[in-house]
């Protein structure tokens, strides 16, 4: 689940060199939107599809309005603006939906648990993991094999060349940003049955997502995978053996990685 | 044999499989004005970068007055007496021209660690800054933000900054690049006047052959990371290998 | 002109707490403490170009240090406050050494990580830090030299004002000094500064520790002021808020961030009376400033930090 969010973040950072602080807020937005859509339509599955799409659309609008003027400026500005966006989105959610948490029930087909290798696993969590894996593979193939994917990767390397070739770089950027937002929202919708949509979920998640992306290396796809696995492991074992240290553990890990390998484990050149 | 002043011995620098520098050996004497020429991609800027510590060599060594220079970070190389200009103009754009030169002078001042504004500390460096601006003909632009200067003035400002450091060795990376004919002439005149006093060793990367011939006493020619000729200006001028490397380009 | 304004401000500062109602005096004291905090960040962000996302780390550390000193030892208020600042500067040395190994985004994230780390420690180490409840009942211990006057509300106002003014005077002098001007060079073009012979890392560490001292001072002023210290003082939301204060106020001007802090508090206290969504307004203002007026409000009035 955290993985989906980090993938989106990596995408946005790797391709657009934007540090999207608002990612957590968008995740939260996805959660709330999913809740509402499910309420209107009565279907979890519809919410799963529509919420990410609508958040992606919002993301595209945001990119056009708030981020476009910044491409010509230095990178620090992105950090600040996306932070501001995170605040604004968070507040807007609070005003729109109120302070109470909203829970979405697990659709009956995914409830219960499956037994794998003799151990029971909650079906829903399996569903999350599987979806994460599917999305990862699909994205990877998309970027590596398709023409559009090639275009996106080319834009991240040398936007001017791509522009010279007659492609509208702005559209590519907007699309990638929207995709990243949509992924975050997808994570949000899928999270609601587990943790319920509540204020502050964006805050908790964005820092963790950044830790994952930093550890894995910004801009590196495989890095995000490794990163989220690592963080998941650290958190699980930490909680088990040294619960007091668990909270601090991932930050220590991030510091260690950044100090030893400032580009992350698999990071690309900045 | 006396200790060579500035020498590169078997210097190599690889980028992956590409050898930007391949066994470059070069000796520069004190007080010499040495031009470094070669076609694009020959490795001239890479050589500068290795000498000044921006890049570490993958093999070989750089020595200055007998002391090993390669492997030191750029600020320590500079502290040993080597100052440089960059091929792509590097200035403090939002600061004034005067402040740019003053900062250059300040870097070599003993008082640069003052954390309170010293009357003497900043005043003296400001005075030096003004002097250098005047020698380079830039006095009128003292208070203009460096980023707003014309290209030619920016190149001259960079030279002023390098000189304000009172270096023993001055490395100029294409100082006339992008300049008009008249700006080039002006720059050459200024350089010639400054260098005629002696006491300064100069390493000059240039593409403009007229500039090279009017300033340099010795020329080293690079091609594909290797030294293909090295000697007095006239000799190099006549060297057929050099002419071939330039495909009929030498004046 | 500027001297006249400054003289006026000094007089006002001396007189104000005697004439204004107590709740305003308290509010102004808080503004000054936050102003000091914001100004300390400006040294990093505005003058050196180092975007720190974890400045709350020094604020929280200063607060907890002072609180612990006041709660467990008998030192007087001024000593505890100074102690808090000194301890913060001390811990900032290894922090700075580690953080400056990276640049740009990685640097920002490292500072964030440290702040979150301290947050986690404060949250969990109940025996020392009081856990999620924090430390309460921080006393304003009067000292032996008859300094009990500082412990009153008005006295504390003067204490905070004194610290802010002293810090401001020092910072003004610092940014005009040889070291201060070098920071600007590093901000403009680090590679060039290094080519000129400056060691950028040494300077960054120096300004980081200095900024930590002043930020820690602000935190140390806060704990006895509010009477408590809690893990929230380390939380990244506070780091973001102080960054907003600096940017909206005007990075690189020293006075701008102080105004930014005042603006922020004013919004928080007064706008919230009228509307529930003051944070939304703040966020939008922030975004607008970054997009359209990057030199900040004060920067628009005065011009960016360019000598």
Q: Cβ separation of B161 and C191 shorter than 8 Å?
A: no
List the subunits that have 3+ CB pairs under 8 angstroms with C: A, B
- The Cα A145–Cα A147 span in angstroms is 7
Q: Is the CB of residue B89 less than 8 Å from the CB of residue B151?
A: yes
Q: Show the tokens assigned to A236.
A: 């699980």
Polymer length of chain C = 307
Q: Is the pLDDT of residue C17 over 80?
A: no
- The Cα A216–Cα A56 span in angstroms is 24
| DSSP states of A171-186 | HHHHHHHHHHHHHHHH
pLDDT for C38 equals 96
Which of helix, strand or coil describes residue A264? coil
Domain boundaries, chain C: 2-236
pLDDT digits (tens, 9 = 90+) for A134-166: 777 777 777 777 777 777 667 666 666 777 777
Which of helix, strand or coil describes residue C28? helix
- C149 compared with B13, residue with greater pLDDT: B13
pLDDT digits (tens, 9 = 90+) for A234-252: 666 666 666 556 667 767 7
| Mean pLDDT score, A122-126 | 66
Q: Show the tokens assigned to C83.
A: 């102690």
The beta strands (E) that lie in chain A are given as 113-116, 119-122
Cβ-Cβ contacts under 8 Å, B116 against chain C: 173-174, 177
pLDDT for C39 equals 96
Q: Cβ separation of B121 and C177 shorter than 8 Å?
A: yes
Cβ-Cβ contacts under 8 Å, A23 against chain C: none
pLDDT band at residue A256 using 50, 70 and 90 as cut-offs: confident
Cβ-Cβ contacts under 8 Å, A95 against chain C: 276-277, 280
Q: Cβ separation of C178 and B106 shorter than 8 Å?
A: yes
Q: Is the CB of residue A268 less than 8 Å from the CB of residue A218?
A: yes
Per-residue H/E/C for chain B:
CCCCCEEEEEEEEEECCEEEEEEEEEEECCCCEEEEECCCCCCHHHHHHHHCCCCCCCEEEEEECCEECCCCCHHHHHHCCEEECCCCCCCCCCCEHHHHHHHHHHHCCCCCCCCCCCHHHHHHHHHHHHHHHHHCCCHHHCCCEHHHCCHHHHHHHHHHHHHHCCCCEEEEECCCCCCCHHHHHHHHHHHHHHHHCCCCEEEEECCCHHHHHHHCCEEEEEECCEEEEEEEHHHHHHCHHHHHHCCCCCC
Mean confidence (pLDDT) of chain C: 85
Q: Is the CB of residue A116 less than 8 Å from the CB of residue A164?
A: no
Q: Cβ separation of B90 and C192 shorter than 8 Å?
A: yes
Closest CA to C208 of C75, C43, C47, C53: C43
Q: Is the CB of residue C100 less than 8 Å from the CB of residue C107?
A: yes
Phi first, then psi: what are they for C21, rounded to 5°?
Answer: -65, 155
- The Cα C291–Cα C182 span in angstroms is 28
- The Cα C158–Cα C17 span in angstroms is 8
- The Cα A212–Cα A158 span in angstroms is 26
Q: How far apart, in Å, are the Cα atoms of C206 and each of C43, C95, C180?
A: 11, 12, 10
Q: Confirm or reject contact between A207 and chain C (CB < 8 A).
A: yes
If contacts are CB pairs under 8 Å, which of residues 51-70 in chain B contact chain C?
Answer: 52, 54
pLDDT for B120 equals 61
Polymer length of chain A = 270
Q: Show the tokens assigned to A217.
A: 């290396």
- C261 compared with B17, residue with greater pLDDT: C261
- The Cα B155–Cα B176 span in angstroms is 7
- C31 compared with B249, residue with greater pLDDT: C31
Strand order of the sheet with strand B33-37? B82-84, B169-173, B201-205, B33-37, B218-223, B226-232
Q: Is the pLDDT of residue C201 over 80?
A: yes
* Minimal CA separation from A244 to chain C, in Å: 6
Q: Cβ separation of B86 and C195 shorter than 8 Å?
A: yes
- The Cα B169–Cα B167 span in angstroms is 5
Helix axes B97-107, B151-164, angle to 10 degrees: 20
**Which distant-in-sequence residues (6+ apart) come within 8 Å of C33 by Cβ?**
C160, C164, C218, C221, C222, C225
| Mean pLDDT score, A166-192 | 75
- Of B107, B163, B171, which to mutate for an interface test with C (greatest number of C Cβ within 10 Å)? B107
- Of A255, A256, A257, A270, which to mutate for an interface test with C (greatest number of C Cβ within 10 Å)? A255
pLDDT in tens, chain B (251 residues): 456 788 898 899 988 888 888 889 999 988 888 999 888 878 898 999 999 999 989 999 999 988 899 889 999 999 999 999 998 999 999 999 999 999 999 988 766 676 666 556 678 888 889 999 988 888 899 999 999 999 989 999 999 999 999 899 999 999 988 888 888 888 888 888 888 777 788 999 988 888 888 888 899 988 888 888 888 888 887 788 777 776 544 44
Closest CA to C239 of C59, C105, C91: C59
Nearest-by-Cβ selection for C287 from A75, A85, A244: A85
* Minimal CA separation from A124 to chain C, in Å: 30
| Angle (CA) B187 B192 B194, round 5° | 95
Q: Show the tokens assigned to C69.
A: 């000193």
What is the biggest distance separating any 2 CA atoms in chain C, rounded to whole angstroms?
A: 56
Which burial class, exposed, middle or buried, applies to C178 when counting CB atoms under 10 A from its CB (0-12, 13-18, 19+)? buried
Q: Cβ separation of C185 and B95 shorter than 8 Å?
A: yes
Name the residue of chain C whose CA is nearest to B109's CA. C178
pLDDT for A34 equals 73
Q: Confirm or reject contact between C247 and chain A (CB < 8 A).
A: yes
- The Cα B157–Cα B90 span in angstroms is 10
Closest CA to C241 of C264, C273, C209: C264
Q: Confirm or reject contact between A110 and chain C (CB < 8 A).
A: no
- The Cα C122–Cα C276 span in angstroms is 31
- The Cα C179–Cα C181 span in angstroms is 6
Q: Show the tokens assigned to B239.
A: 């060297």
Q: How far apart, in Å, are the Cα atoms of A90 and each of A29, A39, C64, C274?
A: 8, 21, 29, 20
List the subunits that have 3+ CB pairs under 8 angstroms with A: C
Nearest-by-Cβ selection for C106 from A90, A91, A258: A258
If contacts are CB pairs under 8 Å, which of residues 122-141 in chain C contact chain A?
Answer: 123-125
pLDDT for B249 equals 47
**Which distant-in-sequence residues (6+ apart) come within 8 Å of C178 by Cβ?**
B106, B109, B111, B112, B113, B114, B115, B117, B118, B121, B122, B125
Q: Cβ separation of C283 and A262 shorter than 8 Å?
A: no
Q: Confirm or reject contact between C98 and chain B (CB < 8 A).
A: no
What does DSSP assign to residue A66?
I
Name the residue of chain C whose CA is nearest to B145's CA. C306
pLDDT for C117 equals 85
pLDDT digits (tens, 9 = 90+) for C75-95: 888 888 999 999 999 999 999
Q: Cβ separation of C124 and A254 shorter than 8 Å?
A: no
Nearest-by-Cβ selection for B75 from C180, C197, C306: C197
Nearest-by-Cβ selection for A251 from C106, C120, C294: C120
List the subunits that have 3+ CB pairs under 8 angstroms with B: C
Q: Confirm or reject contact between A81 and chain C (CB < 8 A).
A: yes
Q: Cβ separation of C104 and A88 shorter than 8 Å?
A: no
Q: Confirm or reject contact between A257 and chain C (CB < 8 A).
A: no
Q: Confirm or reject contact between A239 and chain C (CB < 8 A).
A: no
Phi first, then psi: what are they for A102, rounded to 5°?
Answer: -120, 130
B232-239 CB contacts, 8 Å cutoff, 24+ apart = B233/B35, B237/B213
Q: Cβ separation of A251 and C110 shorter than 8 Å?
A: no
pLDDT for A222 equals 61
Domain boundaries, chain A: 2-198
Helix (H) or strand (E) holding A133: helix A123-145
Q: Show the tokens assigned to B86.
A: 């960059």
Which burial class, exposed, middle or buried, applies to A29 when counting CB atoms under 10 A from its CB (0-12, 13-18, 19+)? buried
The separation between CA C44 and the C-alpha centre of its own chain, rounded to angstroms, equals 11
- C133 compared with A263, residue with greater pLDDT: C133
* Minimal CA separation from B140 to chain C, in Å: 17
Strand order of the sheet with strand B67-68? B18-28, B6-15, B59-64, B67-68
Q: Is the pLDDT of residue C205 over 90?
A: yes
pLDDT band at residue A106 using 50, 70 and 90 as cut-offs: low
- Of B48, B55, B110, B112, which to mutate for an interface test with C (greatest number of C Cβ within 10 Å)? B112
| Angle (CA) A83 C246 C117, round 5° | 60
Q: Confirm or reject contact between A255 and chain C (CB < 8 A).
A: yes
- The Cα C37–Cα C271 span in angstroms is 22
Q: Confirm or reject contact between A83 and chain C (CB < 8 A).
A: yes
Q: Confirm or reject contact between B99 and chain C (CB < 8 A).
A: yes
* Minimal CA separation from A42 to chain C, in Å: 31
Q: Is the pLDDT of residue A76 over 60?
A: yes
Closest CA to A31 of A45, A54, A51: A51
Q: Is the CB of residue B47 less than 8 Å from the CB of residue B11?
A: yes
Which of helix, strand or coil describes residue C303? coil
Q: Is the pLDDT of residue A230 over 90?
A: no
Closest CA to C159 of C222, C106, C110: C222
Q: Confirm or reject contact between A234 and chain C (CB < 8 A).
A: no
Closest CA to C185 of C199, C172, C173: C199
The beta strands (E) that lie in A75-125 are given as 113-116, 119-122
Closest CA to C119 of C73, C164, C54: C54
Q: Cβ separation of C196 and B95 shorter than 8 Å?
A: no
pLDDT for C183 equals 93
Name the residue of chain B whose CA is nearest to C182's CA. B103
Q: Per-residue b/e over B1-18, b at no fewer than 16 CB within 10 Å? A: eeebbbbbbebbbeeeee
């Amino acid at each position: 689940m955290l993985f989906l969010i980090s993938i989106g973040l990596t995408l946005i950072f790797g391709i657009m060199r934007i540090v999207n602080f608002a990612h957590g807020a968008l995740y939260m937005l996805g959660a709330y939107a999913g809740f509402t859509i499910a309420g209107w339509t009565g279907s979890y599955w519809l919410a799963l599809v529509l919420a990410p799409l609508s958040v992606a659309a919002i993301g595209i609008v945001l990119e056009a309005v708030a981020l476009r003027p910044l491409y010509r400026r230095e990178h620090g500005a992105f950090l600040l603006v996306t932070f501001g966006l995170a605040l604004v989105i968070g507040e807007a959610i609070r005003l729109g939906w109120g302070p109470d948490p909203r829970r979405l029930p697990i659709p009956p087909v995914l409830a219960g648990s499956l037994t794998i290798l003799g151990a029971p696993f909650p079906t829903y969590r399996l569903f999350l993991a599987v979806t994460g894996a599917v999305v990862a593979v699909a994205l990877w193939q998309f970027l590596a094999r398709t023409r559009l994917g090639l275009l996106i990767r080319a834009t991240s390397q040398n936007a001017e060349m791509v522009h010279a070739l007659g492609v509208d770089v702005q559209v590519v950027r907007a699309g990638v940003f929207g995709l990243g937002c949509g992924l975050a929202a997808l994570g949000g919708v899928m999270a609601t049955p587990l943790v319920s949509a509540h204020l502050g979920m964006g805050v908790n998640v964005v820092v963790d997502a950044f830790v994952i992306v930093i550890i894995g290396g910004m801009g590196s796809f495989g890095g995000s995978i490794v990163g989220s696995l690592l963080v998941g492991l650290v958190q699980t074992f930490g909680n088990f053996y040294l619960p007091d240290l668990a909270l601090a553990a991932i930050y220590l890990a991030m510091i260690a990685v950044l100090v030893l390998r400032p580009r992350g484990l698999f990071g690309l050149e900045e | 044999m006396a200790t060579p002043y500035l020498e590169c011995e078997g210097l190599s620098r690889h980028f992956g499989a590409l050898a930007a520098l391949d066994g470059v050996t070069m000796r520069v004497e004190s007080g010499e004005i040495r031009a470094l020429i070669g076609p694009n991609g020959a490795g001239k800027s890479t050589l500068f970068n290795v000498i000044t510590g921006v890049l570490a060599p993958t093999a070989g060594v750089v020595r200055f007055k007998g002391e090993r220079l390669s492997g030191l970070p750029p600020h320590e190389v500079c502290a040993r007496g080597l100052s440089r200009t960059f091929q792509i103009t590097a200035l403090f754009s939002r600061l004034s021209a005067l402040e740019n030169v003053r900062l250059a002078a300040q870097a070599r001042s003993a008082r640069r660690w003052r954390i309170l504004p010293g009357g003497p500390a900043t005043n003296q460096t400001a005075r030096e800054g003004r002097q250098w601006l005047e020698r380079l003909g830039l006095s009128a632009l003292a208070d203009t933000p460096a980023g707003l200067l014309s290209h030619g003035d920016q190149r001259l400002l960079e030279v002023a900054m390098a000189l304000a450091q009172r270096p023993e060795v001055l490395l100029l990376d294409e100082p006339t690049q992008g300049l008009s004919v008249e700006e080039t002439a002006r720059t050459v005149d200024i350089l010639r006047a400054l260098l005629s006093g002696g006491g300064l060793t100069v390493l000059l990367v240039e593409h403009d052959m007229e500039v090279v011939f009017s300033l340099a006493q010795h020329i080293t020619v690079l091609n594909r990371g290797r030294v293909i000729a090295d000697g007095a200006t006239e000799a190099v001028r006549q060297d057929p290998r050099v002419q071939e490397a330039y495909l009929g380009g030498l004046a | 002109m500027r001297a006249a304004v400054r003289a006026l401000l000094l007089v006002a500062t001396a007189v104000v707490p005697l004439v204004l109602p107590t709740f305003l005096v308290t509010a102004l004291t808080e503004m000054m403490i936050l102003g000091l905090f914001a100004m300390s960040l400006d040294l990093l962000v505005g003058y050196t170009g180092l975007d720190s996302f974890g400045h709350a780390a020094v604020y929280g550390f200063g607060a907890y240090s002072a609180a612990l000193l006041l709660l467990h030892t008998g030192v007087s208020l001024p000593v505890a406050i100074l102690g808090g600042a000194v301890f913060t500067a001390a811990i900032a040395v290894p922090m700075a050494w580690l953080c400056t190994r990276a640049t740009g985004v990685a640097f920002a994230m490292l500072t964030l990580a440290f702040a979150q780390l301290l947050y986690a420690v404060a949250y969990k180490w109940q025996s020392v830090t009081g856990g999620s409840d924090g430390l309460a009942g921080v006393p304003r211990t009067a000292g032996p030299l008859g300094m009990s006057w500082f412990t009153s509300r008005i006295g504390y106002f003067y204490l905070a004002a004194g610290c802010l003014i002293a810090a401001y005077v020092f910072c003004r002098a610092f940014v005009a000094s040889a070291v201060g001007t070098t920071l600007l060079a590093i901000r403009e073009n680090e590679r060039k500064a290094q080519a000129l012979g400056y060691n950028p890392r040494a300077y960054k560490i120096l300004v980081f520790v200095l900024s930590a001292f002043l930020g820690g001072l602000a935190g140390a002023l806060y704990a006895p002021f509010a009477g408590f210290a809690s893990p929230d003082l380390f939380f990244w939301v506070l780091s973001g808020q102080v960054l907003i204060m600096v940017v909206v106020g005007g990075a690189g001007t020293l006075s701008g961030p102080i105004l930014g802090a005042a603006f922020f508090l004013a919004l928080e206290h007064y706008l919230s009376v009228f509307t529930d969504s003051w944070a939304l307004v703040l966020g939008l203002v922030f975004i607008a400033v970054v997009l359209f007026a990057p030199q900040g409000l004060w920067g628009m009035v005065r011009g960016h930090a360019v000598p």
